[in-house]
Amino acid sequence: MITVTNPHRFLLIQTAFIGDVILATALLEELHRRMPEAEIDMLVRRGNEGLLANHPLLNEVLVWDKKGAGGAFGKYSSLRKLLSLIRDRQYDVILNLQRFGTTGLLTALSNARVTVGFKKNPFSRWFTYAVDHRIEPGIHEVDRNAALLEPLELPNWRARRTRPRLYPSPADYAAVQPYQTGPYCCIAPTSVWFTKQYPLFKWADVIGKLPDDQTVYLLGAPSDAAICDELIRLVPGRAVVNLAGKLSLLASAALLEGAQMNYVNDSAPLHLCSAVNAPTTAVFCSTVPEFGFGPLADTSRIAQTPYLLECRPCNLHGRAKCPLGHFLCATTVEL
């Protein structure tokens, strides 16, 4: 048991993608709530550290350059240095939120006093505690992550779910203030996976139904700018502004927070909304909310096909194209 009278150093490991890091902050919040004197670090992949800039609950953010210079050799050279760093930190507890071998190896070799991870991790037999990773209706990803705390028997347990949370800085809020002179909504029209992306012509229909006095801001990465431009061409005469690649992740969160509504796919912007309690309409195409990645904001709704499609869900993460060619899971969704 980890006791309140004996403060500990914790490391949370989540080196996957943006949305995964955002959802991991719920565990960070819950750990701090139950053990406020604990010193907490977090390990993320390079490129995601900006999400945690100036985070008030974190002592340090460790960064792993997964790609590394020099291909596979560079990647594993970086891994060796990271392992040495983690050992030097002498963590009391490591919580591994991932099910992949590389971070499992880091955890197993960390020399931490207590290690906790999921049973599905190939190195879980060398963890102090291994817990079930449950994908079933009613279990959100933040619930799965929170289960990692159960073996520690921390005080102040409660049944209520803890939401993820990000902390945009005053500079982030100032960066988006020029866009907040009137009523607006945000649309994040893209996804890394084609089958998780609501079609552009459907987004154009959504924009056409919005009030004329409402400005629409399109959000995304720099690589999404061309697609956002294409969407703008589908809605001539509407006040639509392409901000893809122009805002940091935390500035984007600040903009989402002030919107009348935010329209997103099953992708990272959905979780940005949850982390600042921003109103959310989440479109699920080939994936389903039952996977545990639905919106958590107070004002939120899910849009998905009303039809029972035998092919849906076709994959946990999405695909590069519809395997059957019809993409009915997306084209039959109405907002």
3-class DSSP assignment, residue 63: strand
Q: Strand 300-303 vs strand 129-131: parallel, antiparallel, or unpaired?
A: unpaired
Could you tell me if residue 300 is inside a domain? yes
Q: Both 207 and 120 in a single domain?
A: no
Could you tell me if residue 4 is inside a domain? no
Tokens of 28: 């960070």
Q: Given strand 114-118, what is the order of strands in its sheet?
A: 60-64, 39-45, 9-13, 93-96, 114-118, 129-131
CB atoms under 10 Å from CB of 106, counted, come to: 24
What pLDDT, on the 0 to 100 scale, is given for residue 49? Answer: 97
Q: Both 180 and 147 in a single domain?
A: no
Q: Is the pTM of this model over 0.75?
A: yes
Could you tell me if residue 319 is inside a domain? yes
pLDDT single digits (tens) 164-222: 999 999 999 999 999 999 999 999 999 999 999 999 999 999 999 999 999 999 999 99
Q: Both 102 and 74 in a single domain?
A: yes
- Residue 91: which H helix or E strand, with range? none
88: containing domain: 9-152
pLDDT single digits (tens) 152-178: 989 888 878 999 999 999 999 999 999
Pick the closest to residue 228 from 249, 204, 195 (CA basis): 204
Last residue of a domain, one of 118, 152, 186: 152
What is the DSSP secondary-structure string of 179-234?
G-SS-EEEEE---SSGGGS--HHHHHHHHHHS-TT-EEEE---GGGHHHHHHHHHT
Q: Both 147 and 179 in a single domain?
A: no
* Average model confidence (pLDDT) across the chain: 94
Q: Both 205 and 178 in a single domain?
A: yes
Q: Both 114 and 181 in a single domain?
A: no
What pLDDT, on the 0 to 100 scale, is given for residue 79? Answer: 87
Q: Both 181 and 296 in a single domain?
A: yes
Could you tell me if residue 73 is inside a domain? yes
Could you tell me if residue 67 is inside a domain? yes
Cis link prior to 313 (omega < 30° from 0)?
Answer: yes
